[in-house]
Structure 1
Amino acid sequence: MTALRTVLITGTSSGIGLATAVAAARAGWQVVATLRDTGKAGALRAAVDEAGVTDRVRVAHLDVTDPASVAAAVADAVATYGHLDAVINNAGVGQLGTVEQIGVDAFRSVMEVNFFGVVELTLAALPHLRASGGRVITVSSLGGVVGQPFNEAYCAAKFAVEGFLESLAPVAATTGVRVSVVEPGAVASEFVASLGPSLPGLVENAGPYEAAFKAYFENTAGFFEQAQSSEDAAASVVEVLTAPEPAFRVQTSDVARGLAAIKLADLDGSAVHAFTGPWLS
């Protein structure tokens, strides 16, 4: 049992998840920092030690694609601390390529992690969050608002996440549970870096889209040169975690707010396509 509020976070081996685990512990939360392979928790443990919050962070296994693993992680957190006050759905994977390059199986794989993983954890946590008056926070993406060329599978999954949670939010609120999505734009993290090795092969196998794919990489490279840090994005997540009345939709940077504003006022889709279309030429 603990007097501290308890939050379970997925995907904490690096990037926003790791930074959020540290920031939440610093903010006074008991953190269950989960990851699919606990053997890869070295960076997390080092960051926690450096921040001086080792006693507030417990590393645990959770594979969001395995319902039994999700249920076990939630049950273990409640058994250990007596309550669960928040979950942060952060685990995710990227996928570059248009549908003719990557095929349907790639879409299914991305959806399993980025969408169904969110559904599974939210489902498992809701009874405990009702008991605590807690909240569900999900790290979505600007890609969950603005469809981006050659990110079809990723954006499809993030759009699904936002539709699920925007629909759930008023329902959950009737039982005292707050639901929010956090939308980063470009973030300098291992999540982005891990896509790098696949780029040459994707261009070479782009077929009729080769010229557009090359242009896409050239025209969007600057986004990541000016990307915000994982720590900056995590600060927005923790603000939602601790805010008395958190908004449903929160962007983590001015760039993300600007692009989201274009989409949310774009009734016929022309403004978004006017923005993204030049990336391909």
Structure 2
Amino acid sequence: MTEPKNAQWKSQKDSEEEFQGDPEDHRGRERVRLLQKSLRDKVFECKDAGAFWRVLRGWTDPRPKPIQVSLEVLTEEFQKRMNEPEECPASFNMEQLRISAELFKGMPRINEDVSPKKSFSRKLTLADIEWGKQHIMKHLSTASGIDDFSYGDIMEIPNEKLRALLQEIIDKKIFPSKWLAALSYRLVVLECCLLKFLTLLIDRRVKEYAVEAKLIPETQNGFMATYRTNNNPFLLRVMSDRAAAEGKVMYVAVVDLKNAFPAVNRNVLFLTLNSMGVAGDMID
């Protein structure tokens, strides 16, 4: 009767464990045998299919390439890319930028909420916290902030205590110092997760007001519920087909603004938001 395959492996394993000799014997063949035994042992030690595939991928996946750029160089480059430019390009309207800076200085510290639903002064509710937690459930694997506080930690905070904490921060307009530790440059991944949770709730209120006031054009499909970014390619295709059918020439300009989001001047941003009615406790 043929011995089961597993038994054969076990028998061979036992016999190899009894071997004690110089790995350099027999022109290195014994070293190869010991390596094979080591690899086979790793397979036998797998407790489930997941462990097996992790071992297999460790053998077959390409080895990571050595890092070509130092951390110092990366940090310097990111600081340049993720902040406003120290010197504005010649194409900038410097006079308008100066005027905006002066107007920003003249803005009152406390601004009235003129939105119909009091979107920016209405107190946070338990429903807001529940919505926020439901949202971050999809991102529990996100890296912790600079304070080692994660979205998973937020999920452990009772809703009422979390609501009270965030509302007190809005009312007093004072952030814990650790929350602001990463604001020297704008890498979102380094921000405190509690800070990101609060800005998530504020973003929801901004969208609520923007939709109510019809401030968002129909062409804005990104980051909007029920919209998809592939809506615009579809529209472009329809316009192209129509132009071809009517024998017309259609010109398309594709503009890619370098470092557009981090390079936005915050003074101008807040002035623009204020002029559109985005003002109140949450924004102050």
TM-score over 0.5 for the pair: no
Higher helix share goes to which structure?
1
Answer with 1 or 2: which has the greater Rg: 2
Structure-1-length-normalised TM-score: 0.21
Bigger relative CO (Cα 8 Å, ≥ 6 apart):
2
Higher strand share goes to which structure?
1
